[in-house]
Structure 1
Amino acid sequence: MARTRTTPAASPVELYQISDRVSRQARVRQAGVDPRAPIHRPLRIYTLDPSVSARLGGVATVQVPYEKLESGPLGALFDVRCDGAPKELRAEALNLDDPHLLLSSGLSPSPAAGQFHLQMVYAVASLTYAVFKRALGREIAWATPPGPDGSHRLVIRAFVPGANAGYSREAGDLSFGYFKAGRRAAGFTVRGASSAPPSATTSSSMRRRTR
């Protein structure tokens, strides 16, 4: 009697889905660069804390990757906003493409100048992004969904009440707090003045933005 061979049932085909982060990554592209444009934009920042003297290295001029900016600053990657600033700082949107600022490496560092806070967070955030981009060899997609207009920028809020800084994937923003200094002066800090966390918090918060 002849034997009948049975063919084993084919294993079910596993279906794979491409995450929306893949397409999101493809949309993260720097705006076209004008070949006549400079490679870097020099901007002045605090290196540690406003109380550290410039003679001791408390102020530095850094080379930020150049891009065409709108008032904010608003670029291809970051949307820096000044809403929530205390009245004493008189902050308003900053135009870093102003010819006077282009020739003077941006605004002079001052904790009492609201617009300098905007320059500071834009410069440090751009430098941090450039370090990760160079290390990975590619553009980096934000872990947040695109905005209503289809743009894919990280919103940076330079003035949020509280002595802290943080990143929110749900809100799609990076926030930097400010607080009133105590009655007792610390170093060159003016009593009762508005203070902000040092720039080091920018790098630590930026490391968490793609997780």
Structure 2
Amino acid sequence: MVRPAPSAERDGLGVRFQVAASVTRAVARPFARKAGDPLYRPLKVYTSDPAASRMEAAVTLINVPYEPLAPGPDGSLFKVDSQDPQQNGNGTGIYPPGELPADLTEFLAHAASSLAGHFQALMIRAVDYCPPVDITLGEFLRALVTADYDLVPDDPWGYREALIDAFSRRAIYPRHVPTLAEDALLWRAPRRVMPPVIALDAAHLVFDCDMACGAAPAELTRQARALGEFATRPEHLQEFGLLSGSEAEALGGRAELPVVASVRIARRAGPDGQIVNDLVAEITQQVMMQPGAGKADYALVGGTTVILGPNGEIRYLISKSAVGSERIQRRRAFLDSLQGRQFWQLRGTAYQEKRPLYEALHAGA
């Protein structure tokens, strides 16, 4: 896309245009200006901007200096060529409907591939920002927004805006979020002030050879024990989405011991080359609900995803309690529904899965 410069001038070859900021970092081929060459030369630019051409998807002839053709912070151009009748058969600079020049096709394919790669990396990063159990699409949206914000706070390309709009158009909303504003969707730091987990800061982590190799089993066990001891302190249970035995009994259930399911290093590279290293862990806890009065028992699983910074500080606690946010009522209603009976069956006095849910999902059940 090109737009006329604020002080556009006309000469014998046409209007001098400046490159719009909306196409910054687009691929362009630099050209060297030789001695004796004019300061400006006529070039074809593929554009749908009515300021540049009256025809959509047409090619307009403009004058640009040699120097700004190289990519830079002020923007760059699509592939451009001199207007040669041999290139399109009629010398008008306008290609027949449905036909794209090879250079423009190559440019668009490269741009689409690059964009897809960026979104793929974002989707993978977002997994570290999801709760460890019962992930909803609304929660995945929050994970996407937070994961991208952590690496690119200013969002110059509008990725987060596009994601939020795409989820909104499909009526996918996270629970307990007042608006779809970016600030409202970000996961938050713990509500209460917590000390750092010194045993899990960067100075105390030990790796087999380097960070990319991961930790040995003994070191992983040490890390899990340190985190488990911290999370199960009475004053921390609620923040970590965990229940004490007495709290579970008061709700008619039996809480099992929490399990540190995983501890791993997340190494992320930002678009400007910055490297961010976090420690990501998942803690889960199963609560067996025992309604009594002839009703079958059923299990609920809760827990939290913990993201710690290099100093052992807790950056995020993405928790989902086994009994929080009306999960007991929703699970009970699902088990009693026709859809729930496709996956769960009554064995003895408790509900059990007919087969592993991931197996059922991939089998198309």
TM-score, normalising length: structure 2: 0.20
Query: In terms of Rg, which structure is larger?
Result: 2
Larger helix fraction of residues: 2
Larger RCO (CA under 8 A, 6+ residues apart): 1
